[in-house]
């Protein structure tokens, strides 16, 4: 699939944003539990002065439709375990995988591998109905995005995924718990701030 390079900047591996998604172990929670996925190819409109998040487009390699990236925002941004559902041709747009996710999937394959096909079929029907029910869903914009909320959610997920299991085991001190909370809080707020500066900024990306 060819793209107009005068209009679009193409994000694909080894772009730093995609590498971060692949290498950050904390993002395995986002993929496996929340179902948040990143497409293998993202197009950035170079002709618009809007913030970066409003200039992102996702091409479908099956029907060649170029979708606005906000199509998978809000409710549709979750439960995309098998990839991004294309509402035009009902095929799946390929996504990248976090390395930690792949390791966990490989280890647990005997538990879910036998049910992959029926689960995928059921998921596809769910996504089809989701798009039909939310045809008029308003696109997300930089102005109506709560970066603080995004950062706090990320910090909370990081704490639950990386620190909570050890705390539940009981072999930790109160100092350790407080330290982990502060680390995850700072990491979450830093993530939210970075997203605001990077995704919310205009042009020159």
Q: What is the pTM of this model?
A: 0.71
Distance between CA atoms of residues 29 and 70, nearest Å: 22
Closest CA to 82 of 114, 111, 123, 27: 123
Among 63-67, 119-123, 164-168, the least confident range:
164-168
Whether residue 8 is predicted with pLDDT greater than 70 in this model: the reply is: yes
Distance between CA atoms of residues 151 and 185, nearest Å: 8
Distance between CA atoms of residues 187 and 156, nearest Å: 10
Whether residue 32 is predicted with pLDDT greater than 80 in this model: the reply is: yes
Percent of the residues in the chain that have a pLDDT greater than 90, as a whole number: 29
CB-based burial label for 133 (10 Å; 0-12, 13-18, 19+): exposed
**Which pLDDT does position 29 carry in this prediction?**
80
Beta strands 66-68 and 42-45, pairing class: unpaired
Mean pLDDT value of segment 16-23: 88
Whether residue 16 is predicted with pLDDT greater than 90 in this model: the reply is: no
Q: Assess contact for 191 and 151: CB atoms under 8 A.
A: yes
Distance between CA atoms of residues 36 and 54, nearest Å: 18
Mean pLDDT value of segment 151-169: 74
């Amino acid at each position: 699939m060819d793209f107009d390079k005068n209009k679009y900047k193409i994000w694909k591996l080894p772009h730093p944003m995609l590498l971060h998604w692949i290498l950050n172990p904390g993002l395995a929670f986002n993929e496996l539990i929340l179902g948040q996925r990143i497409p293998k190819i993202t197009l950035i409109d170079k002709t618009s002065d809007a913030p970066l998040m409003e200039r992102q487009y996702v091409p479908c390699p099956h029907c060649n439709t170029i979708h606005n990236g906000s199509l998978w925002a809000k409710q549709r941004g979750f439960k995309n375990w098998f990839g991004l559902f294309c509402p035009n041709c009902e095929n799946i747009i390929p996504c990248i995988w976090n390395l930690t996710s792949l390791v966990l999937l490989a280890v647990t394959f005997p538990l879910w591998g036998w049910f992959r096909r029926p689960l995928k079929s059921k998921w596809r029907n769910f996504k089809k109905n989701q798009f039909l029910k939310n045809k008029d869903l308003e696109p997300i914009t930089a102005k109506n995005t709560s970066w603080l909320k995004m950062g706090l959610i990320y910090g909370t997920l990081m704490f639950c995924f990386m620190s909570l299991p050890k705390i539940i085991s009981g072999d930790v001190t109160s100092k350790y718990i407080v330290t982990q909370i502060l680390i995850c809080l700072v990491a979450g707020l830093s993530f939210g701030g970075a997203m605001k500066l990077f995704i919310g900024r205009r042009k020159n990306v």
